[in-house]
Each structure stands twice: as structure tokens, then as C-alpha cells.
Amino acid sequence: MNPKRSPERLIPLHGGYEHLKSFQLAELIFDTTVRFCDLYIGKRSRTHDQMVQAARSGKQNIAEGSQVSGTSKKLELKLTGVARASLEELRLDYLDYLRGHGMAEWAPVHSALMRFKARRCSKLAHVRQWVHDERQREQKLRDSDGSKRTRQITSSAQLVANGALSLLNLCCYLLDGRLRRRPRRSKQKGDSPNGSIGCEAKEDKTHGLTRTDTD
């Protein structure tokens, strides 16, 4: 008789954060934010440091939460909450930037964002290529319809800010799911290093991510 297969763990007991979708997103958010701040926010500005630190905190606390998951579910939950709060702070900073510069926040179904999600960006270079292609696309439309005086090409800053917000929304969604699930499972298993936490494997198509959901 074959031994019963153990359910897939919500988070690997000894880290493995590099394979978490939330960490992969947070890392891309960090890289994107550093470049965004260097290009569009003065380096002496307090906002520059706040945004970079919030992005770093989100990434680091997801990693640290994964690392301690094998010994303390309570600490894991706390670190996940810190990561979620940091990314929410960063999300608000991006919204403030858009509002302060008279730029629109795009709905999730905005055509440019739909193309962004379809690219399944995993590196900063992918985000930069999307920005370049969107501006090139708008330039061609502007040239072809004879509306050079009326059609404005979307700024790179607006494209990057809305792309970052799309990444943040997905990352926060994944972290919210972990925070909702954890209290119930903690009550069932206790704060034990041997507590098994199972989950159904699923595919998240919101941003084209196809890894098994181990968040």
C-alpha cells in the first residue's frame, strides 16, 4: 500500500521564498520602484527614500516570514502583515504621485494594463520594454490619424506608476489570502514547527503567473 501523499504546504518549512509568487512580485516591485524614484522623484526628497524603503520592506519581510515558517507560524504571520502594510504604503505613494501630477489611475481593464498583464513581466527589463512599446504604439497612432496637436502621448512616469500599481494590487491580493487563511489554520495546528498546512494547487491568471500557488 502506497503511503498517503502529504498535502502541498502553503509555505515551505525551511524557506524557499524565491519560489513564492508574492516574493517574485515584490522583488519586481522593488526594482521598478528604485528606477521610478531615481528617474521621477528627487533623490533628496523624503518621498524617494520612503518609497524605496517601503518596497524593500515588503520584499524582505516576505522572505523573512518564509524563513521562519518552520519554527513559528505566529512570527510568520506577523512578518507577512508587516510586508502587506509596507506595500500598501507604497501603493498610496504611487497614487499620490499620479494625483499630484494630474495623471489618471487606470482601471484594471485599461487597454495598456491588459497588454502589460499579458506580457507576464518578471524582470525590470520587461517593464521597461512595455513602456517603450506603449509609447511607440501611441506615437504611430498619433502620426496615422493626423491628431498631432490633440493626441498626447502618455508619459513614461504614468505608464510605470500604473504598471507598478497593477503589480502591487496582485501582490497585496496574494498576501491578503495568506493572512485570511493563517488564523484558521493556526487554531487547528497550533504554533508548532511540525504543523502541516495544506492548500489546493491553483493557477493565478490575474497577471499571467503560472506557478503553483505556494503563498
**CA–CA distance, 85 with 26 (Å, rounded to integer):** 13
Q: Is the pLDDT of residue 164 over 80?
A: yes
Structure-block grid coordinates of residue 147 = 491628431
Grid cell digits, residue 83: 510586508
Checking if the pLDDT of 213 tops 90, the result is no
User: Does the structure show a pLDDT above 50 at 140?
Assistant: yes
For the cut 80, the answer to whether the pLDDT of residue 160 exceeds it is: yes
Residues 6+ apart with CB under 8 A from 1: none
Helix and strand numbers, DSSP H then E, in the chain = 6, 0
What is the pLDDT at residue 13? Answer: 52
Q: Is the pLDDT of residue 190 over 80?
A: no
Q: Which of 158, 123, 155, 131 is nearest to 29 (CA)?
A: 123
Q: Is residue 187 predicted with pLDDT exceeding 60?
A: no
Model confidence over 58-73: pLDDT tens digits? 999 999 998 888 788 8
Confidence category of residue 146, pLDDT binned at 50, 70, 90: low
Q: Average pLDDT of 45-54? A: 97
What mean pLDDT do residues 4-14 have? 48
Q: What mean pLDDT comes out for the span 155-164?
A: 98
